[in-house]
Every structure is written in C-alpha cells, then in structure tokens.
Chain A
Amino acid sequence: MIERLDQIFVLLKHWLLGYLPESWQVPVGVLISVACIVGLYPALFAVTTVLERKGVGRIQNRIGPNRVGPYGILQPMADGIKSLTKEDIVPTSADAVVHFLAPIILVVTVFMGFAVLPMGRNMVLVDMDAGLLFYFAMGASTELSVFMAGWSSRNKYSLLGAMRAVAQMISYEVALLLSSVVVVMMTGSLSLVKIVEAQNHYSYGLPHWFIFTPWGCAAFIMYAIAGTAETNRSPFDLPEGESELVAGYHTEYSGFKFALFFLGEYVAMFSISGLGATLFLGGWMAPFAWLQVIPSWIWFFGKLFVSMCVFIWLRGTLPRLRQDQLMNFAWKFVLPMCLLNLFVAGLWRFMGEGWLRWVVCSAILILAYISIGREGMRRKKFGPRSYRYAE
C-alpha cells in the first residue's frame, strides 16, 4: 500500500500508457510528464504569490489580501484574469521580435531545468548522466532572455536593469556552480538521481544528507545566497529595484508578457529550491527513517515549500543591497569561501572516517568565515573628501 502510494503517479502513467500501442508509449509518456510539470508549477506559483503577499503582510503587521474569496485565497485568479485582459503594449521603437521572444525564452528555459530534477522516487523526466550540467546550462540562458528584454525595450531603465541583472547573475553563477561542484566531487556523478541516491541511507534513524557535513553545510549556505541572487529575489533584487528602476528589465512589459516574467521568476525560485533540496537536503528523502512511510513526492514538495517560506521570510526582512555591496559580497566573500570549500571537501574525502575530519574541516571553515567576514565588515576610514574638477 505504502509502496503503491509512493509510486502512484508513476503507476498512473504506466496504466494510461497501457492503452497505447508500443511505438507511441515513449513519446506520449514524455508528453504526459511534461504536461504535469508545466501544469503543476504555475499552480504552485499561484499559491505562492498569495502566500507571499500574506506572509510579507504579516511580517509587516498587515493583514494582506483578504478580499477575493475566503481569506483571499482566490486572489491569484483575480490577478491572472487582470493580467490576461490587460492591453499588451509594445513600445514603437522597441525591437518587436526580441521583445516578444524574451518572456517566452525565459519561461521555456526555466521549465527546462525541471527535466532533470527528481521529484520523487522514479519521478524524473530525463535521468540524464550530466543532469547538473544541463540544469546549469538552462539556468544560465535565463540571463540571455533578461538581457533580450532589457535591450529590446529601448528604455533606459530596462537597459540598466538588464545590465545589473546580467552582472549579478554572472557573478553569482560562479558561486552557484562552485558550491554545487563539492557535491559532484563527493558523489562522483553529475546525475541528480545518483546524487539523491548517494544520500539515501540512514544511520541511527538519521539521514546522511550532505547538509549535515561541514563542507555540505558551508556549500548549502553559499548555494542559498547564490541561488537567491540568481533568481533576482530580495535582497538581491537590484535588477528590478522599483525605487530606482521602475521595474528593471520588464518595465516595458504589460499584460500577459509581464505575467510570464513574473511566472518565470517564481518558477525559477522553485527550480533553484528543488535543486538545492536535491543536492544538499536529500531530494525526495524523508528526514527520519521512520518517516519513510510518507510518500517521497510529499517530501520533495514539502522541502520546496519550506524553502519558499524562507525566500519569503528573507524578502520580508532584508533591505536591498547596493550594486557595489552586491559585487563585493560575491567576489570577496562568497567566491573565496566556495574555493576554500572545494579544498575542505577534498580534505574530508581523504582524511578517512573518524571524528578528526569533523573537527579539522569545521575549524577551517569557521575560521575562514570569521576572518573573511571581519575583513569585509571592517569600517574603512575615509579622509576628508577631495574634489577634482575637469580643467
């Protein structure tokens, strides 16, 4: 029974495919899975928007939306109808083709990332050997669509937003990759399914997730920072900082195209959260051995939900960074820590079992964290300002 419930979606798909001739089964099977992914995540996006608005409201001691439907739960429908019925305006001087393509490319590339994410036991669209590589390739091409949007709008705010976005995403992509490489080093595989399986054992009822090791914990923190920046979420939402750039790269988008950007941003958050859960939090694994009775897909989406809550919590807490702070943080703190973490992971691998590697690895990471942090936080003494005028 438990087995059945765990595999319910897989069994359902096989049962459906049973009615089809042999040669159709593979393409139709893929189509069904794709349809599920493309249908499920926008639905989750709708739930998350209302969750975010209510959550941030409560954080700011407000009530949040409560007018549409009981407790405002139908708010996303109202928002959807609004954005669907709005006029779609393309600026006259905009590059119409690129302007049209940008939101589509964003959404497509964001959804492509889900192809390799295992969302439950045996629930992965493509078990690719180079899954992680594919994921990052797709994640990197969102930058292209962001820049397309900013460039084609022919608006200085859009362009500034896009330039900020590209600078930020490229800087943090390095950190994102380096923090994930540690996991690849330890498991020896780029396949996300294999990475989950490598964490899939328990000792004394506790799981062997990578976050419960010094290098894994450090890598997870770096991954979370870089992932937040990669998805343009607060406090790294400079590309769309409404106080200075109207809305950044999607200033000139209205109606459904704007909704697509919005969707793309949230689905990218799901996707980054899903990858983070897969790499460090054991993917679809239960947190305790005795909780394995609960189906694996519930655990995956539960972890997704928790990380969305953390995203919302962070958004309600932290103010936006300045551009130079953002860059300094990426190149002077996150990147050195990631590089050090590579070394620590290697040390962990070759020190063998025992308590010594725990102490050594933790000590190195904590010392580095404190010293780099202190260096970064040191107040710089500025002399009196001197002005140089053009002659």
Chain B
Amino acid sequence: MLGDGILKGLAETAKNFAGSFVSKERLTTVEYPEERLPLPEAARNFPFLVYDGDDWEKGLRCVACQICEKECPPKCIYIEKSKDKKPDYVGKPQIYPTKFDIDISVCMSCQICVEVCPFEAIKMNTEFELATDDRFGGLLLDREALARSNEYYHEIHPTEATEVDARLAEEKVKVEAKAKAAADAVAAKAAAAPAKPADLVDPKPATSEKAAESSKAPIAATTPAAPKPVSGTGTDGPAPITPKDTKNAEISAKRNEGEPKA
C-alpha cells in the first residue's frame, strides 16, 4: 500500500534515534581531541631522525651523507656537514650534520629519504598535530625538532623497528667477526715473525679492507655504531654497514610487508 514504506522508514529512524541514546556502540563518532583511535602501524606523515641513547645530539645516527637531500623529490631537506668529526655514541669519530632542516610544508611524505638512507637514520613519524600559526618558522623543523629516540621508533612502528635493529646487529656481528679475523691474522703473522719491524704497519690491512668494503657510501669510513636496545650484543664496536645490502634488505623487507611505496 502507498505509504507503508514511509512508515517503515520512520520506524527505522526512530529506532536509531532512541538506540543512539541507549547503546554506545551505535555511535561511530570518535570525539577526536579527547578520544583518539590508535594509529595503524603503517601510518606515516613526515620524517624524523633516529638517535640512540639518551642524548639526542650525541646519539644521532645521521652522518650527513646527504643522500636523502639529493634524493628528496620536492627538495625539502637541507643538510650542512660538520667540518670536524665528533665522537658518536660509541666514541667513533665521524662527520655529523650541523644543520638538518626539513620543511614540512614542502615535504610530500613520499618516504624516499627513508628508503635511500643507508644508516637507518631517518624514519617516518606519525605525529600529525603540527598546525602552527607561524607558516615559515613553525613548519621548518630543525635537528632538535626532528630527533626522536629509538625507543620512540619502537613505539610507533614496532615491527619495522625490530627488523631494523636485527639488521644492524647482524651487520655488526659480521663486521666484528671480520675485524676479529683480521686481527687474528695480524696477531698470527706477528707471532710468526715476532722481531720484524713491519709490526708498526700491521693493523693497516684490516682498516684498508674495511674502507674498501664500504667505499660505496661517501663517508663510509665513519660508519655509525648502533647499540641496540632490543637485540644489543653488549659490546660496542665499529659496525660499518654496506649501504647496498642494507638498502636492498630494507626494500625487500618492506615489499614483504606489502607497505605502500612512494
């Protein structure tokens, strides 16, 4: 009959009206500033710089290699290299960025900087409440504003951070083993020819080998050493990373995750 559909509809909306007062699960609204939904793990918006330890300035993983600066499609990163070398968190002298600025009004959140970084130093953040009344200064984030601890990284992207830590630890173990083997060889040589004046030159092969191995990275000699909170092996030694391996591993890891890529 004409009109029964209207009555049915009116009954339905009346049910909704009354039900929304009775049962909370009917209301889908999340009242944002007070309540918030947990962000999905794949969430990302702007990059941040990872540091190890407690002091952000000392522990910054970034070695100012400027790959991200060159790769950044909208050119929102600006890096100034230091003239001197500063001991990093483990005491290894290396170049560090005296200036690392990201203009988040330019950044397009493509994550290319993260993908090209050989040192796991730059990652995507999930903070989104970045509104400011200063459209120039407020949106230009400097080193200090960008620095976040590794613990924070674990908090926002636990799976990814664990993988990164495992990879770094693996690299370190490999390098340490190599260094140890080299040292053993040197020691054996030294033991075989104890009275030779070549003693002074002995440690060289090891370092030159290392340099050759990691020569693809611009500043590979000063590779960062990353103490790992999750899989840390205790001993802190130089852990140079072969950039290509790291990158490929990271990319393949991400493919496996099925993460969207820029």
Which positions in A face B, CB cutoff 8 Å? 55, 58-63, 66, 313-314, 316-318, 333, 369-370, 372-374, 376-377
**Complex Cα distance A374/B3, Å?**
11
Contact string, B1-15, partner A, CB cutoff 8 A, digits 1/0? 111001001101110
Report A72 CB to chain B, min CB distance, Å: 12
**Cβ of A59 and Cβ of B28 under 8 Å apart?**
no
- Interface of A: prevailing SS: helix
Contact string, B93-113, partner A, CB cutoff 8 A, digits 1/0? 000000000000000000000
> In chain A, what residue has the closest Cβ to B25?
A61
**Cβ of A62 and Cβ of B13 under 8 Å apart?**
no
> In chain A, what residue has the closest Cβ to B31?
A63
Question: A61-B28, A62-B27, A63-B31 in contact; A373/B3 too (CB < 8 A)?
Answer: yes
Question: A58-B20, A61-B27 in contact; A376/B2 too (CB < 8 A)?
Answer: yes
* Residues of B with C-beta under 8 A to A318: 6, 9
Report A365 CB to chain B, min CB distance, Å: 13
**Cβ of A59 and Cβ of B17 under 8 Å apart?**
yes
Q: For the complex, is B128 an interface residue (Cβ under 8 Å from A)? A: no
Report A252 CB to chain B, min CB distance, Å: 32
Q: For the complex, is B29 an interface residue (Cβ under 8 Å from A)? A: yes
**Cβ of A59 and Cβ of B16 under 8 Å apart?**
yes
Q: For the complex, is B26 an interface residue (Cβ under 8 Å from A)? A: yes
* Residues of B with C-beta under 8 A to A376: 2
**Cβ of B17 and Cβ of A55 under 8 Å apart?**
yes
Which positions in B face A, CB cutoff 8 Å? 1-3, 6, 9-10, 12-14, 16-17, 19-21, 26-29, 31
Q: Please, could you name 17 A-B residue pairs with CB atoms under 8 Å apart, sorted by A?
A: A55-B17, A58-B20, A59-B13, A59-B16, A61-B28, A62-B27, A62-B28, A63-B31, A313-B14, A316-B17, A317-B6, A318-B6, A318-B9, A333-B2, A373-B2, A373-B3, A374-B2
Report B152 CB to chain A, min CB distance, Å: 32
**Cβ of B13 and Cβ of A316 under 8 Å apart?**
yes
**Cβ of B17 and Cβ of A370 under 8 Å apart?**
no
**Complex Cα distance A372/B1, Å?**
10
**Complex Cα distance A62/B20, Å?**
8
Given contacts A58-B20, A59-B16, A61-B28, 10 further A-B contacts (CB under 8 A): A58-B16, A60-B16, A61-B16, A61-B19, A61-B26, A316-B13, A333-B2, A369-B2, A374-B1, A374-B2
Question: A59-B16, A63-B27, A373-B3 in contact; A317/B21 too (CB < 8 A)?
Answer: no
Report A9 CB to chain B, min CB distance, Å: 34
> In chain B, what residue has the closest Cβ to A373?
B2
Question: A60-B16, A61-B28 in contact; A370/B1 too (CB < 8 A)?
Answer: yes
Report B167 CB to chain A, min CB distance, Å: 46
Report B11 CB to chain A, min CB distance, Å: 9
**Complex Cα distance A66/B12, Å?**
24
**Complex Cα distance A376/B1, Å?**
10
* Residues of A with C-beta under 8 A to B21: 58
Report A362 CB to chain B, min CB distance, Å: 16
Report B228 CB to chain A, min CB distance, Å: 46
Pairs of residues from A and B, 5 with the lowest C-beta to C-beta distance, nearest first: A373-B2, A317-B13, A59-B13, A317-B9, A58-B20
* Residues of B with C-beta under 8 A to A314: 10
**Cβ of A58 and Cβ of B17 under 8 Å apart?**
yes
Interface centre among B6, B20, B27, B31 (most CB of A within 10 A): B20
* Residues of A with C-beta under 8 A to B19: 61
* Residues of A with C-beta under 8 A to B29: 62-63
Question: A61-B28, A63-B31, A318-B6 in contact; A373/B13 too (CB < 8 A)?
Answer: no
* Residues of A with C-beta under 8 A to B26: 61
* Residues of B with C-beta under 8 A to A317: 6, 9-10, 12-13
* Residues of A with C-beta under 8 A to B14: 313
